[in-house]
């Protein structure tokens, strides 16, 4: 009980709208500060005669004592605090439709909660509210003076305020319903919550019925104070609508709903776990637009906030609708937004009394026969005893469909995140300020078919990170500011992160049978991921046709028709691996297929380039190892049909048809194709071998000539030289003497040397032979 008491007090304060702190909190919208919490004015037709205004219901008095509201601490005076010219209640600031929200109101000192204060005595007679056209938040002079801030900080603050308002409203409603009893049962009907962030009309789940709410239920709240039928048959909405968990809002055609949207305040329709059902017919569509009562035109300014529609969890269905000029700044406030939630809706809690009794009987019957428990989503529970049930819910993903609708001028044409099996079929989205169709995080198994996105400021179609199994079929992206289609399959984190995101990449997304025409940047861009494909599509114009980068793997590009790109038809670069480029027809571009630091199998493409000196059919640059180029037909005129001169590895190139290619390269360009370091080294080696062989051949010829020449065999003989005859004699003997006395003549033949036996070892010889 102690824990629930603060929540109950908070819920009561928000619901009753009591509290000087909340009322005195100065609302800030786009840089403006209001001097007091203004009171909503009747939504009266500006063109209605005075008699119609007199017969209109009088609004109930505001429970907040605005007469004595404290001034805003902001020194700059806001135009919204000025009394209108014909206002009968000069002390009070008037409010136009959409004034149910206080914009970027500063939270009260208690953290945004209202504190109970004594109420003042209400006036006995209530005067007629001012006409709608006189209730202006800012005049033209103020707008021209630039007092309405257009900076990013102010717009981001608006989004933050909206998030806080939604969370507070849901928390207050949950606390009231959990109290139980008669008080909780009485709360299951339309009611208004007031907080520092403005007024919110809450549509809770009904008691024991699933009947949807309609505009009639909204118009019945406080005698039509927040919804008024205009003279032309349209309806003007002037409050934030909150469709709670278990409830549903139904809008049926023919219907024209104008959502009040002014500087300082705007209306919205938000479901949190509930359902929104908007359905018209081809002849009787549902038309929804923002509305500026000062100009009696749609609100075209987004810097100070603008009306929007959002489904948080639950189900959203729209068909045959015409939606225009909604949304501002972020995706979730961008116009029409379908977003999942980490706070799941409890379907079990909203079952009728009969259904609950049936569930209990079924549990009791299974309790004795089953030893295990029941299964709820991904969690299986074990029952504690008869009649008990444990229910643990998984995250709640939004689901739904948008069909046969036209969306024009939204900030984001259509924003989807945290959804499962959402279908976008046969729609037309024009002139979005940011992206056309933006499928953000955790969109699974979505189908986008027969949808046109034309003239967006950003991309036409975006499949952001963490989207999987999304098929885009038979769609058109034309004249968008950036890419026609963007497929991003990169991981949510590259390493450890505070949120602990997975490092896995995403994929299995495809674009097929679609058209990208005259977009400002690329026709299709693939960023990372795996198993992404673009096939049988037509890409016309743009800087480049299909670009694959950021390490994407196993990307298949086949059967596409590309023409008129300024630079490259198909480009794989910056680490793309295992790509498959096959059967594409590329015409009228400077380079047909371009690979840089990537590898792919390029097979069976037909390329016809522009007639320019720098044209190439296929170009390989950098590390393109494991690339195969085969059976391609290249037609055109330029420096080379298939350029591999700048590749770092040898490319497997064979069976390509280049007969119709006219080579316009100069001699030096052709020489440069072969002037590479390895080529120079091999050329030097071959030249050395040739020079050595030639020299060896010359030397051999000289030797053969010398051997085969005929001459005098004695020409090279030398005359013998006569020298004195040396006679050998034993050592120690006298020279031999002739018979005539004296020594023997030296011309005689020398006598044979006398061989003496070798002396004994003990007495080695001391002499030898002498001459």
Positive or negative, the CA dihedral 228, 234, 238, 240 is positive
Q: What is the pLDDT of residue 94?
A: 35
Q: What is the pLDDT of residue 151?
A: 67
pLDDT surpassing 60 at residue 569 = yes
pLDDT tens digit string along 499-530?
787 888 888 999 999 999 999 999 999 999 99
Angle between helices 4-16 and 152-178 (to 10 degrees): 120
Q: What is the pLDDT of residue 276?
A: 96
pLDDT surpassing 70 at residue 176 = yes
Looking at the DSSP assignment, which residues form a beta bridge with residue 428?
Answer: 406, 452
pLDDT surpassing 90 at residue 706 = no
Return the residue matching tokens 């055109």: 636
Instruction: Summarize the confidence of residues 628-648 as an average pLDDT.
Output: 90
User: What is the distance between the terminal CA atoms of the chain, rounded to a whole angstrom?
Assistant: 145
Confidence of residue 266 (pLDDT cuts 50, 70, 90): very high
pLDDT tens digit string along 650-691?
889 999 999 888 887 666 666 666 666 777 788 889 999 998
Q: What is the pLDDT of residue 282?
A: 95
What is d(CA 27, CA 126) in angstroms, rounded to the nearest whole number?
Answer: 26
pLDDT surpassing 80 at residue 248 = yes
| The overall pTM is greater than 0.75 | no
Return the residue matching tokens 């000029």: 325
What is d(CA 660, CA 590) in angstroms, rounded to the nearest whole number?
Answer: 16
Other CB atoms within 10 Å distance of the CB of residue 211: 10
Give 754 or 715, the one with higher predicted confidence.
715
What is d(CA 218, CA 255) in angstroms, rounded to the nearest whole number?
Answer: 15
Give 361 or 346, the one with higher predicted confidence.
361
pLDDT surpassing 50 at residue 694 = yes
pLDDT tens digit string along 604-631?
999 999 888 788 899 999 999 889 999 9
Q: What is the pLDDT of residue 764?
A: 53
Kindly provide the residue ranges of all beta strands, DSSP E only, lying in 387-521, ordered along the sequence: 399-403, 406-408, 412-417, 419-420, 423-425, 428-430, 437-439, 443-444, 447-449, 452-454, 461-463, 471-473, 476-478, 485-488, 510-512, 515-517
Kindly provide the residue ranges of all beta strands, DSSP E only, lying in 282-343, ordered along the sequence: 286-291, 308-312, 315-319, 321-324, 335-339
Confidence of residue 754 (pLDDT cuts 50, 70, 90): low
Q: What is the pLDDT of residue 724?
A: 75
Looking at the DSSP assignment, which residues form a beta bridge with residue 268?
Answer: 240, 308
Q: What is the pLDDT of residue 668?
A: 65
In terms of Cα–Cα distance, which of 449, 452, 457 is closest to 476? Answer: 452
Q: What is the pLDDT of residue 40?
A: 38
Say what percent of the chain tops pLDDT 90. 43
Instruction: Summarize the confidence of residues 427-443 as an average pLDDT.
Output: 95
At residue 431, what are phi and psi to the nearest 5 degrees?
Answer: 55, 40
What is d(CA 387, CA 361) in angstroms, rounded to the nearest whole number?
Answer: 8
Looking at the DSSP assignment, which residues form a beta bridge with residue 160?
Answer: none
- The per-residue DSSP string of 257-283 comes to EEEEEETTEE-EEEEESSEEEEE--SS
| Least confident interval from 323-332, 334-343, 572-581, 683-692 | 334-343
Q: What is the pLDDT of residue 353?
A: 60
pLDDT surpassing 60 at residue 9 = no
Q: What is the pLDDT of residue 325?
A: 96
pLDDT surpassing 70 at residue 492 = yes
Side-chain half-sphere exposure of 62, counting CA atoms within 13 A: 26
In terms of Cα–Cα distance, which of 376, 388, 173 is closest to 270? Answer: 173
Give 740 or 705, the one with higher predicted confidence.
705
Looking at the DSSP assignment, which residues form a beta bridge with residue 236?
Answer: 228, 258
Instruction: Summarize the confidence of residues 157-165 as an average pLDDT.
Output: 91
Q: What is the pLDDT of residue 461?
A: 97
Q: What is the pLDDT of residue 702?
A: 73
Q: What is the pLDDT of residue 734?
A: 62
Instruction: Summarize the confidence of residues 57-82 as an average pLDDT.
Output: 34
pLDDT surpassing 50 at residue 296 = yes
pLDDT surpassing 90 at residue 495 = no
Confidence of residue 144 (pLDDT cuts 50, 70, 90): very low
Cβ-based burial of 537 (10 A; exposed 0-12, middle 13-18, buried ≥19) = buried
What average pLDDT is seen over the chain? 75
Instruction: Summarize the confidence of residues 115-134 as an average pLDDT.
Output: 36
Q: What is the pLDDT of residue 275?
A: 94
Q: What is the pLDDT of residue 318?
A: 97
pLDDT tens digit string along 205-237?
988 778 999 999 999 999 889 999 999 999 999
pLDDT surpassing 80 at residue 340 = yes
Q: What is the pLDDT of residue 673?
A: 60
pLDDT tens digit string along 316-325?
999 999 999 9
pLDDT surpassing 90 at residue 341 = no
Positive or negative, the CA dihedral 173, 179, 185, 187 is negative
Q: What are the tokens at 574?
A: 């910056």
Report for 92-101, 394-403, 649-658, 704-713: range of highest mean pLDDT: 649-658
At residue 250, what are phi and psi to the nearest 5 degrees?
Answer: -120, 125
pLDDT tens digit string along 356-382?
667 667 766 655 554 444 444 444 444
Instruction: Summarize the confidence of residues 18-24 as an average pLDDT.
Output: 32
Confidence of residue 735 (pLDDT cuts 50, 70, 90): low
């Amino acid at each position: 009980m102690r824990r629930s008491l603060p929540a109950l007090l908070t819920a009561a304060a928000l619901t009753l709208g009591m509290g000087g702190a909340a009322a005195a909190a100065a609302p800030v919208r786009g840089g403006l500060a209001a001097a007091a919490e203004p009171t909503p004015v009747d939504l009266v037709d500006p063109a209605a005669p005075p008699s119609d205004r007199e017969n209109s219901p009088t609004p109930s008095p505001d429970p907040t004592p605005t007469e004595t509201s404290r001034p805003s601490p902001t020194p700059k005076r806001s135009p919204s605090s000025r009394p209108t010219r014909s206002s009968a209640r000069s002390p009070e600031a008037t409010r136009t439709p959409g004034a149910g929200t206080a914009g970027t109101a500063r939270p009260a000192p208690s953290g945004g909660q209202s504190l109970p204060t004594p109420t003042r005595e209400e006036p006995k007679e209530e005067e007629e509210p001012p006409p709608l056209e006189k209730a202006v938040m800012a005049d033209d002079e103020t707008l021209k003076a630039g007092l309405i801030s257009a900076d990013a900080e102010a717009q981001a603050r608006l989004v933050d305020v909206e998030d806080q308002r939604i969370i507070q409203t849901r928390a207050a409603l949950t606390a009231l319903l959990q109290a139980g009893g008669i008080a909780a049962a009485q709360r299951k009907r339309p009611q208004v919550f007031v907080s520092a962030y403005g007024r919110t009309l809450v549509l809770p789940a009904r008691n024991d019925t699933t009947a949807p709410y309609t505009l009639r239920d909204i118009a019945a709240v406080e005698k039509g104070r927040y919804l008024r039928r205009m003279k032309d048959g349209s309806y003007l909405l002037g409050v934030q609508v909150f469709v709670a968990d278990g409830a549903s809002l139904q809008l049926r055609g023919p219907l024209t709903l104008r959502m009040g949207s002014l500087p300082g305040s705007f209306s919205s329709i938000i479901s949190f776990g509930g359902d929104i059902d908007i359905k018209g017919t081809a002849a009787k569509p549902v038309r929804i637009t923002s509305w500026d009562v000062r100009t009696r035109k749609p609100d075209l300014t987004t810097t100070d906030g603008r009306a929007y529609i959002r489904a948080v969890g639950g189900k959203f269905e729209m068909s045959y609708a015409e939606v225009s000029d909604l949304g501002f700044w972020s995706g979730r406030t961008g116009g029409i937004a379908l977003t999942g939630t980490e706070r799941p809706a409890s379907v079990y809690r909203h079952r009728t009394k009969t259904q609950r009794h049936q569930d209990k009987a079924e549990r009791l019957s299974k309790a004795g026969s089953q030893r295990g428990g029941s299964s709820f989503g991904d969690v299986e529970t074990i029952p504690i005893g008869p009649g008990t049930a444990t229910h643990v819910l998984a995250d709640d993903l939004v689901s739904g469909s948008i069909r046969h609708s036209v969306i024009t001028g939204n900030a984001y044409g259509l924003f989807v995140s945290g959804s499962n099996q959402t279908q976008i079929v046969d729609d037309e989205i024009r002139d979005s300020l940011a992206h056309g169709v933006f499928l953000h995080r955790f969109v699974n198994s979505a189908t986008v078919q027969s949808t046109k996105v034309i003239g967006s400021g950003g991309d036409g179609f975006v499949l952001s990170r963490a989207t999987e199994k999304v098929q885009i079929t038979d769609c058109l992206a034309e004249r968008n500011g950036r890419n026609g289609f963007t497929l991003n399959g990169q991981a949510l984190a590259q390493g450890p992160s505070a949120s602990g995101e997975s490092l896995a990449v995403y994929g299995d997304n495809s674009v097929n049978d679609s058209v990208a025409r005259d977009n400002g940047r690329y026709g299709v861009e693939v960023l990372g991921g795996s198993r992404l494909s673009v096939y049988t599509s037509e890409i016309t114009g743009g800087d480049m046709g299909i670009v694959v980068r950021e390490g994407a793997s196993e990307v298949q590009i086949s059967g596409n028709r590309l023409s008129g790109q300024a630079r490259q038809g198909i480009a794989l670069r910056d680490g793309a691996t295992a790509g498959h480029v096959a059967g594409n027809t590329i015409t009228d571009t400077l380079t047909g297929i371009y690979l840089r630091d990537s590898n792919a199998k390029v097979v069976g493409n037909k390329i016809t380039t522009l007639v320019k000196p720098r044209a190439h059919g296929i170009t390989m640059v950098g590390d393109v190892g494991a690339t195969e180029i085969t059976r391609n037909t290249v037609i055109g005129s330029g420096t080379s049909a298939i350029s591999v001169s700048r590749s770092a590895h040898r490319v497997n190139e064979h069976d390509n048809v280049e007969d119709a290619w006219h080579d316009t390269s100069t001699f030096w360009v052709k020489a440069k194709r072969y002037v590479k370091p390895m080529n120079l080294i091999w050329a030097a080696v071959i030249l050395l071998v040739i020079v050595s062989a030639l020299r060896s051949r010359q030397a051999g010829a000289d030797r053969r000539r010398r051997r085969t020449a005929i001459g005098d065999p004695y020409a090279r003989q030398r005359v013998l030289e006569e020298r004195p005859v040396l006679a050998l004699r034993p050592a120690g003997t006298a020279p031999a003497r002739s018979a005539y006395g004296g020594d023997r003549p030296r011309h005689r033949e020398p006598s044979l040397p006398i061989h003496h036996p070798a002396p004994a070892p003990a007495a080695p010889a001391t002499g030898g032979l002498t001459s």
